[in-house]
Amino acid sequence: MENNNHYVVIMAGGVGSRFWPVSRSNFPKQFIDILGTGKTLIQQTFNRFKDICPPENIYFVTNENYRSIIKDQLPEALNENILGEPVMRNTAPCIAYACHKIAKKNPNASIVIAPSDHLILQEDAFKEAIRESLELTEKNDFLITLGIVPSRPDTGYGYIQYKNSSPFDNFYKVKTFTEKPDLELAKTFIASGDFLWNAGIFVWNANSILRAFEKHLPEINEIFVEGKIYFNTVKEIDFIKTAYMRCKNISIDYGVMEKAENVYVRPSEFGWSDLGTWASVYDVKKDKDYVGNVIIDSKKVVMYDSANCIVRTPANKLVVLQGLDGYIVVESDDVLMICKKSEEQEVKQIVADIKQNFGEKYL
User: What is the per-residue pLDDT for 201?
Assistant: 98
- pLDDT tens digits, 218-255: 999 999 999 999 999 999 999 999 999 999 999 999 99
pLDDT at residue 362 is higher than 60: yes
- pLDDT tens digits, 265-296: 999 999 999 998 899 999 999 999 999 999 99
Give the length of the chain: 363
Among candidates 41, 47, 50, which has minimal Cα distance to 14?
41
* Structural domain that includes position 292: 285-358
- pLDDT tens digits, 6-51: 999 999 998 888 899 999 999 999 999 999 899 999 999 999 999 9
Query: Are residue 269 and residue 310 in the same domain, yes or no?
Result: no
Residue 349, CB half-sphere, CA atoms under 13 Å: how many?
A: 5
What amino acid is encoded at 34 in this protein? I
Say how far apart CA 346 and CA 363 lie, in whole Å.
16
**DSSP at 359:** T
Say how far apart CA 356 and CA 317 lie, in whole Å.
29
Query: Are residue 97 and residue 197 in the same domain, yes or no?
Result: yes
Average pLDDT score over residue span 68-85? 96
Number of structural domains the chain divides into? 2
User: What is the per-residue pLDDT for 63?
Assistant: 96
Q: Give the DSSP letter string of 276-332.
A: -SHHHHHHH-----TTS-EE-S-SEEEEES-BS-EEE--TT-EEEEES-BSEEEEEE
Average pLDDT score over residue span 158-186? 92
pLDDT at residue 348 is higher than 90: no
Query: Are residue 11 and residue 119 in the same domain, yes or no?
Result: yes
Query: Are residue 22 and residue 137 in the same domain, yes or no?
Result: yes
CA 68 vs. chain centroid, Å, equals 20
In contact, 321 and 301? CB cutoff 8 Å: yes
Among candidates 203, 162, 160, 151, which has minimal Cα distance to 180?
160
Query: Are residue 262 and residue 320 in the same domain, yes or no?
Result: no
Q: Read off the pTM.
A: 0.94
- pLDDT tens digits, 130-151: 999 999 999 999 999 999 999 9
Percent of the chain with pLDDT over 90: 85
Tell me if residue 303 falls in helix, strand or coil. Answer: strand
Among candidates 52, 4, 5, which has minimal Cα distance to 207?
5
Q: For residue 299, what are the contacts with CB-CB under 8 A and spacing of at least 6?
A: 315, 316
- pLDDT tens digits, 105-128: 999 999 999 999 999 999 999 999
Average pLDDT score over residue span 90-95? 97
Residue 363 belongs to some domain of the structure: no
What amino acid is encoded at 266 in this protein? R
Query: Are residue 235 and residue 352 in the same domain, yes or no?
Result: no
Who wins on pLDDT, 202 or 315? 202
Query: Are residue 289 and residue 168 in the same domain, yes or no?
Result: no
Query: Are residue 150 and residue 30 in the same domain, yes or no?
Result: yes
User: What is the per-residue pLDDT for 297?
Assistant: 85
Residue 278 belongs to some domain of the structure: no
Query: Are residue 299 and residue 267 in the same domain, yes or no?
Result: no
User: What is the per-residue pLDDT for 16?
Assistant: 85
Query: Are residue 204 and residue 346 in the same domain, yes or no?
Result: no
Percent helix / strand / coil, the chain, rounded to 5: 40, 25, 35
Q: Which of 244, 273, 302 is the last residue of a domain?
A: 273
Average pLDDT score over residue span 311-339? 95
pLDDT at residue 2 is higher than 80: no
| pLDDT tier, 1 (very low <50, low <70, confident <90, very high otherwise) | low
In contact, 239 and 229? CB cutoff 8 Å: no
